[in-house]
Amino acid sequence: MTINQLPLTILILLTLTTISCAAEPPKNPQAINTSGEDWPVFLGPSGIGLSSETGLIKEWPAAGPPPLWQAEVGTGYSAPSVRENRVVCHHRIGDEEIVQCFDVTNGKTLWKHANPSNFSDPYGYNNGPRCSPLLTETLCYTFGAEGRLLCLNLEDGKLIWERKTHEDFNVPTAFFGVGATPILEDGKLIVLVGGQPNSGVVAFDAQTGKTLWESCGKNTWEGVATGWRRQENYEWTGEEMIVSYSSPIAATIHGKRQILCLLRHGLVSLDPATGAENFHYWFRAQVHESVNAARPVIIGNRILLTAAYQTGAAYLEVTEDSKSVKEIWRDTENLLCHWSTPIPVGKYIYGFSGRHENGSTLRCLELETGKVVWETTGWEGPLDHLSPASSSSVKNSKTNTIDPWPYYGRGSKIWIDGQFIIIGERGTVALIEATPDHFHELNRFKPNQLNYPAWTAPVLSRGRLFLRSETALMCYDLRNPEQ
Q: pTM higher than 0.75, yes or no? A: yes
Q: Total structural domains in the chain?
A: 1
DSSP 206: T
Could you tell me if 98 and 482 are in contact, meaning their C-beta atoms sit under 8 angstroms apart? no
> In this predicted structure, what is the pLDDT of residue 16?
29
What 8-state DSSP symbol labels residue 127?
Answer: -
> Angle at CA 82, nearest 5°, toward 132 and 91?
40
Q: What is the pLDDT of residue 481?
A: 86
Structural domain contains residue 36: no
pLDDT, residue 288, reads 86
Residue 350 resides in a domain: yes
Using CA atoms, how far apart are residues 416 and 432, in angstroms rounded to an integer?
10
Residue 12 lies in a domain: no
CA distances from 141 to 92, 116, 346, 453 (A): 16, 17, 33, 25
Sheet harboring 343-345: ordered strands across? 343-345, 348-353, 361-366, 372-376
With respect to residue 316, please indicate whether it lies within any of the assigned structural domains: yes
Q: Three-state DSSP class for 167?
A: helix
pLDDT by residue for the chain (483 residues), tens only, comes to 333 333 333 333 333 233 233 333 344 455 555 689 999 999 999 999 999 999 999 999 999 999 999 999 999 999 999 999 999 999 999 999 999 999 999 999 999 999 999 988 888 899 989 999 999 999 999 999 999 999 999 999 999 999 999 999 999 887 788 999 999 999 999 999 999 999 999 999 999 999 999 999 999 999 999 988 888 999 999 988 888 899 999 999 999 999 999 999 999 999 999 999 999 999 999 988 899 999 999 999 999 999 999 999 999 999 999 999 999 999 999 999 999 999 999 999 999 999 999 999 999 999 999 999 999 999 988 888 999 999 999 999 999 999 999 999 999 999 999 999 999 999 999 999 999 999 999 999 999 999 999 999 999 999 999 999 999 999 999 999 877
In a domain, 41, yes or no: no
Note down the domain range covering 432: 50-477
Please report whether residue 483 resides in a domain: no
Residue 326 within any structural domain of the chain: yes
Q: CA 169, CA 243: separation in Å to the nearest integer? A: 12
CATH of the domain at 220: 2.130.10.10
Strands (E), 39-95: 50-51, 67-72, 81-83, 86-93
In angstroms, the CA 318 to CA 329 distance is 13
Residue 176: what pLDDT? Answer: 81
Burial class (CB in 10 A: 0-12, 13-18, 19+), 244: buried
